[in-house]
A = this chain, B = another copy of it.
């Protein structure tokens, strides 16, 4: 568990997109972010107060979160003295980069001497159990996609926010680096050892109140040859009561696999249900989330209407329309 609140480290981000982790925290957990730290040349801006490390500590910040990814996912030499100073001032550090904080000898030495924590969220922090398939109390919703990177995390976070607004019992369950940094907790599923994948998801979504919903962040796609095993483990470990189908209607082929066409929403519905019912016979597909980012307003509206009519399920783009109708579908179960 990463201590909050955060100071968001934007480093020398060349543009806003490079700081997408910081943006995710700003969008979904604004109460965690009390300021931003920008170096010379930084071209990202979260609209938060610019703070020095000392100012942020004085304001109560506990963890400096690396909210920026540079090419290659490495810790750049320019950042090192800032990170070292942060540790000396009392910050923990958190990073989702490929290269690890703990592998930087200077940072590791300071953290050890000063008793600070280095959170490398790509590395599973726990030894997860093997899944046992036993039915758990409480309810679970999982977003599955026709492809990778079609908006599964965004959909679950938008539903989580809507459910909190309504006073429903809901917890977003992060399964990827960005999600973990946003919420401070979760399982980095793509880095888990094969035998423990489903068990890690059981661990992440334990018994809960009968009216509590876990909103499980999806990963990969059952139809993506590179990552389908990860998605399978999410379904069998997550025991979802409700499935949300996620789709990006303009994509020409599977992400990174130019020879592979996307499956249809019907194929995704049928396969996901077959698999989910193995662990939860009551599993249902309750709604569709469309990522219409590349469509005009008119085309997006037409796409949503056509999909809703064809599939007989509520369809929304949560970014344009909010997630209220998806949450209505959960409430109606």
Contact = CB atoms under 8 A, between A and B. Distances in A.
Interface string A170-204: 00000000000000000001111111011100000
Contact of A227 (B198, B227, B278): B198
Interface string A207-235: 00000000000000011011111111100
A18 interface: no
Interface residues of A, number: 39
Contact of A225 (B228, B236, B260): B236
Query: What's the number of copies of this chain in the assembled complex?
Result: 2
B278 A223 contact: yes
A199 B229 CA distance: 11
A188 B198 CA distance: 18
Contacts of A225: 131-133, 198, 236-237, 278-279
A115 to B, nearest CB: 28
A257 interface: yes
A259 interface: yes
A324 interface: no
Contacts of A223: 278
Q: Interface centre among A237, A256, A278, by most B CB within 10 Å?
A: A278
Interface in A128-151: 130-135
Contacts of A191: 193-195
A194 B189 contact: yes
B257 A227 contact: no
A59 interface: no
A52 interface: no
From A135, A193, A199, name the one whose CB has the most chain B CB atoms within 10 angstroms.
A193
Nearest to A229: B233
A228 B131 CA distance: 10
Contact of A133 (B199, B230, B257): B257
Most chain B beta carbons < 10 A, residue from A190, A232, A259, A271: A232
B132 A257 contact: yes
A73 B179 CA distance: 37
A194 B192 contact: yes
A112 interface: no
A274 interface: yes
24 contacts: A132-B225, A132-B226, A133-B225, A189-B194, A190-B193, A190-B194, A191-B195, A192-B193, A194-B197, A194-B233, A195-B226, A195-B227, A198-B225, A198-B226, A198-B227, A199-B226, A222-B232, A225-B236, A225-B237, A225-B278, A228-B233, A228-B236, A231-B232, A271-B274
Interface of A: 130-135, 189-195, 197-199, 222-223, 225-233, 236-237, 254, 256-257, 259-260, 271, 274-275, 278-279
By Cβ-Cβ distance, the 10 closest A-B pairs, closest first, are A229-B233, A133-B225, A229-B229, A232-B232, A131-B226, A229-B232, A190-B195, A225-B236, A133-B257, A197-B229
Given A195-B230, A226-B236, A228-B233, 12 more contacts: A133-B225, A134-B259, A190-B193, A191-B194, A192-B193, A193-B193, A198-B225, A223-B278, A225-B278, A229-B230, A232-B232, A271-B274
